């Protein structure tokens, strides 16, 4: 079966993994049987702490590692499970960029085309397009050791995309850069991936990166998928405590529930649940500072950090642990103040442990 990827290669393929698992020789399970389906042109971010299996998952999709028997990897309906990476026609960007030091920028970008025996004129044209796409025309004849980290990242991306891959795989491509550059490139990369419209899998441990880049975020932990959904779903409706705390800041509070209210150290919050004991999550920006007498839940301000556009408060006595609240920069408040904490019911998320 031939896919439309042959005629419109830039949109990539639909990726399907069926029960792929990976057990190392010493018996450790790096990846439990995992099935995932990614529609054509979508960017999926595999997110999780180090050792969660995300890189193993990516490497199996790339063809750098073989899944345990029974697992299958399909590009459209083409079963590539046993296909070597060099025949899969994928684009891959590595954390270290892995640019070839014995080649110039242009030669690096054109390497995949050279292997495909693309005619010189066509190759030169495509390399030029790639240089323009990533904004590094002026670097064409540079040696790799003359490039900055951000420039290397662009070359690595241009090289991976130049071959019009069926799928683009990025393994922590921004991790090696400093924070400011990472933020700028994150936005740039997002625009580039959207303009290419290619099926992309992006591995990272940085939740901010995942939020910006992912059409869908797949959160992984200990070799399995914990939750898969849009950035919005993952943020507002985390499946469990791990996801809640991994994505953004979260206050996780636990207490007994009576008469539709959860009891905490500093008072009660209305909660619609039938459980006798509940664990809930509240995002720092979902808690509003109010007059103490107007609220059923109170605390004492332990510290105030003024951030310019907002203030970050730490509130003691509201719960067993101090809680974090993001308040508007206009609220006048200081450490030691007693405050009321107002919460809207729809922002409360009841967690399963």
Partner 1 sequence: MKSRQLFALACLLPLGIILAAFFLIPLVRLFLIGGGGEAGFSRYFRVLTMPRYYEALASTTILSLAVTAATLLIGGIAGIFLARNRFPGHGLLVAILTFPLAFPGVVVGFMVIMLGGRLGIFGQMTLALLGERMVFAYSIIGLFVGYLYFSIPRVLLTVMGVAEKLDNQLIEAARSLGAGPFAVQRDIVLPALMPAFVAAGSICFATSMGAFGTAFTLAAKIDVLPMVIYNVFTESADMATAAALAVILGLCTWAVLALARLYGGTNVAAAG
**Residue 50 touches partner 1, criterion: CB under 8 A:** no
Q: Which range touches partner 1 (CB under 8 A), out of 92-100, 175-183, 223-231, 244-252?
A: 92-100
298-306 and 338-343 beta bridge pairing: antiparallel
Query: Where does the chain have alpha helices with state H?
Result: 54-62, 105-115, 120-133, 149-162, 179-196, 207-213, 231-236, 241-246
One of 16, 18, 64, 68 touching partner 1 (CB under 8 A)? 64
**Residue 62 touches partner 1, criterion: CB under 8 A:** yes
CA atoms of 218 and 230, how far apart (whole Å):
9
We find the least distance from the C-beta atom of residue 94 to partner 1, in angstroms, to be 5
We find the least distance from the C-beta atom of residue 115 to partner 1, in angstroms, to be 4
Evaluate the CA torsion angle 191, 195, 197, 199 in order and state its sign.
negative
Q: Which range touches partner 1 (CB under 8 A), out of 90-98, 189-197, 262-270, 317-325?
A: 90-98
Q: Closer to partner 1 at the Cβ: 117 or 346? A: 117
Minimal CA–CA distance to 269: which of 351, 325, 341, 352?
341
**Residue 91 touches partner 1, criterion: CB under 8 A:** yes
Q: Are 203 and 31 in contact (CB under 8 A)?
A: no
One of 96, 146, 258, 329 touching partner 1 (CB under 8 A)? 96
Q: Closer to partner 1 at the Cβ: 174 or 247? A: 174
**Residue 236 touches partner 1, criterion: CB under 8 A:** no
One of 24, 115, 277, 306 touching partner 1 (CB under 8 A)? 115
**Residue 67 touches partner 1, criterion: CB under 8 A:** no
Q: Which residues contact 283 (CB under 8 A, 6 or more apart)?
A: 235, 248, 249, 250, 251, 347
**Residue 146 touches partner 1, criterion: CB under 8 A:** no
We find the least distance from the C-beta atom of residue 184 to partner 1, in angstroms, to be 24
Cα distances (Å, whole numbers) of residue 303 to 235, 282, 324, 347: 26, 19, 10, 24
Q: Which range touches partner 1 (CB under 8 A), out of 81-89, 266-274, 275-283, 327-335?
A: 81-89
* Number of Cα atoms under 13 Å in the Cβ half of residue 243: 29
Beta bridge partners of 269: 262
Residue keyed to tokens 């050792």: 51
Minimal CA–CA distance to 297: which of 287, 306, 305?
287
**Residue 90 touches partner 1, criterion: CB under 8 A:** yes
One of 43, 55, 89, 200 touching partner 1 (CB under 8 A)? 89
CA atoms of 231 and 221, how far apart (whole Å):
17
**Residue 87 touches partner 1, criterion: CB under 8 A:** yes
**Residue 126 touches partner 1, criterion: CB under 8 A:** no
We find the least distance from the C-beta atom of residue 72 to partner 1, in angstroms, to be 20
**Residue 100 touches partner 1, criterion: CB under 8 A:** yes
Phi then psi for residue 47, to 5 deg, are -120, 135
We find the least distance from the C-beta atom of residue 29 to partner 1, in angstroms, to be 22
Contact residues toward partner 1 (CB under 8 A) are 62, 64, 84-92, 94-96, 98-102, 111-112, 115-116, 159-160, 163
């Amino acid at each position: 079966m031939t896919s439309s990827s042959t005629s419109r290669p830039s949109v990539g393929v639909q990726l399907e993994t069926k029960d792929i698992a990976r057990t190392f020789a010493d018996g450790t399970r790096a990846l439990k049987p995992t099935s995932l389906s990614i529609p054509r042109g979508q960017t999926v971010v595999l997110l999780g702490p180090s050792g969660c299996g995300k890189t193993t998952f990516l490497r199996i999709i790339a063809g750098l590692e073989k899944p345990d028997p029974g697992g299958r990897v399909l590009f459209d309906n083409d079963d590539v499970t046993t296909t070597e990476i060099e025949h899969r026609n994928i684009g891959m960007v590595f954390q270290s960029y892995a640019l070839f030091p014995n080649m110039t920028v242009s030669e690096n970008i054109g390497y995949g085309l050279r292997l495909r025996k693309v005619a010189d004129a066509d190759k030169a044209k495509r390399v030029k397009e790639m240089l323009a796409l990533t904004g590094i025309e002026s670097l064409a004849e540079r040696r790799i050791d003359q490039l900055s980290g951000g420039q290397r990242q662009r070359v690595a991306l241009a090289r991976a995309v130049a071959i019009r891959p069926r799928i683009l795989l990025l393994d922590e491509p921004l991790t090696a850069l400093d924070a400011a550059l990472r933020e700028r490139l994150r936005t740039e990369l997002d625009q580039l991936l959207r303009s290419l419209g290619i099926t992309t899998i992006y591995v990272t441990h940085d939740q901010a990166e995942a939020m910006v880049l992912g059409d869908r975020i797949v959160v992984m932990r200990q070799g399995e998928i914990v939750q898969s959904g849009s950035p919005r779903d993952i943020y507002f409706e985390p499946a469990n405590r791990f996801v809640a705390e991994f994505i953004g800041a979260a206050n996780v509070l636990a207490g007994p529930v009576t008469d539709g209210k959860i009891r905490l150290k500093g008072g009660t919050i209305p909660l619609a649940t039938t459980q006798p004991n509940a664990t809930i999550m509240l995002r720092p920006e979902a808690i509003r500072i109010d007059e103490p007498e107007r609220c059923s839940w109170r605390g004492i301000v332990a510290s105030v950090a003024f951030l310019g556009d907002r203030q970050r408060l730490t509130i003691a006595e509201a719960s067993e642990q101090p809680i974090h609240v993001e308040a508007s920069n206009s609220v006048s408040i200081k450490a030691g103040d007693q405050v009321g904490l107002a919460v809207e019911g729809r922002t409360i998320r009841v967690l399963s442990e």
